[in-house]
């Protein structure tokens, strides 16, 4: 049985982090929620830090990475549902990625990309960038997560280490407004160059905006349908 098939049980973690109390399907206030779930209420919770031992190969990998990188580069280790996530200080991201790729005991050769998350109520850490890595050599997977405040949405580009992240970083900038410093050409990849705002942020309106498409005008969603 491979290590990936023999996943560890989740160790007892610290208290979960409550991010927000969300109303509606997308947390939209007022008439913009056209999903039909405007009365839905739920608590948004993220898993807390996990204490050692983590189990499986996780302990060795984390210890190895801590020994190769700057002190404090790893802010938090989370083991949840058999998956390993390392929260990294943004100024140490490239350094950590370089060691993940090149060290023979780690050898995470493949990064499948970066995606953005917006937590508007997590003050000082509103924007998150999440990276997924695969070690083909060792048949292991790991996740890195980096945060930045809305007022300073800068995260170093990892394109010099993982060139295939080029378009993924462009899409994350386009949709979430995270600026990847050092990217060779950080321009929009989905929306027009003159598009205002970043459509996947939670503060971006779901309705009430006229959308022009090749000369045609599509009315806002909340004028096209209604729910009683």
Reading the block at residue 105, the tokens are 């005991």
Least reliable range by pLDDT among 52-56, 105-109, 170-174, 204-208:
204-208
What pLDDT was estimated at residue 154?
A: 98
Does pLDDT of 5 surpass 60?
no
pLDDT at 35 over 60: yes
Strand ordering across the sheet containing 127-135 = 74-80, 83-88, 140-148, 127-135, 110-118
Assigned token pair, 71:
């002190």
Which token pair is 72? 């404090």
In the structure, what pLDDT confidence band is assigned to residue 19 with cuts at 50, 70 and 90?
Answer: confident
CB 206 within 8 A of CB 223: no
Domains and CATH numbers, the chain: 17-223 (3.30.460.80)
Spatial separation of the C-alpha atoms in residues 74 and 59, rounded to whole Å: 13
The sign of the CA dihedral 8, 13, 17, 21 is positive
- Say how many C-beta atoms besides its own lie within 10 A of residue 170's C-beta: 20
CB within 8 A of 87, min separation 6: which ones? 74, 75, 76, 77, 78, 144, 145, 146, 147
Contact 121, 128 (CB under 8 A): no
Do β-strands 140-148 and 83-88 pair in parallel, antiparallel, or remain unpaired?
Answer: parallel
The per-residue pLDDT of the chain, averaged, comes to 86
| Residues 99 and 65 sit within 8 Å (Cβ to Cβ) | yes
Give the other-Cβ count within 10 Å of 214's Cβ: 4
Bridge-partner residues for 213, per DSSP?
Answer: 216
To the nearest whole percent, how much of the chain has pLDDT over 90?
Answer: 63
What would the mean pLDDT of 22-32 be, rounded to a whole number?
64
Q: What is the C-alpha separation between 228 and 225, in angstroms, rounded?
A: 10
């Amino acid at each position: 049985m491979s290590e990936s098939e023999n996943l560890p049980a989740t160790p007892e973690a610290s208290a979960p982090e409550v991010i927000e109390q969300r109303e509606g399907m997308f947390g939209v206030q007022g008439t913009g929620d056209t999903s039909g779930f405007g009365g839905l209420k739920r608590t948004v919770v993220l898993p807390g830090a996990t204490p050692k031992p983590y189990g499986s190969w996780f302990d060795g990998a984390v210890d190895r990475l801590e020994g190769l990188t700057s002190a404090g580069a790893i802010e938090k280790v989370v083991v949840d549902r058999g998956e390993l996530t390392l929260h990294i200080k943004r100024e140490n991201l490239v350094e950590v990625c370089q060691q993940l790729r090149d060290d023979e005991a780690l050898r995470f050769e493949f990064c499948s990309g970066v995606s953005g998350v917006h937590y508007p109520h997590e003050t000082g850490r509103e924007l998150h960038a999440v990276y997924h890595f695969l070690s083909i050599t060792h048949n292991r997977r790991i996740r890195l997560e980096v945060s930045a405040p809305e007022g300073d949405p800068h995260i170093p580009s990892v394109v010099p280490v993982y060139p295939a992240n080029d378009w993924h970083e462009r899409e994350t900038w386009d949709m979430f407004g995270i600026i990847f410093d050092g990217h060779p050409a950080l321009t929009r990849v989905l929306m027009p160059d003159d598009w205002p705002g970043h459509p996947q942020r939670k503060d971006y309106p779901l309705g009430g905006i006229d959308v022009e498409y090749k000369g045609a005008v599509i009315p806002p969603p909340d004028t096209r349908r209604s729910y009683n």
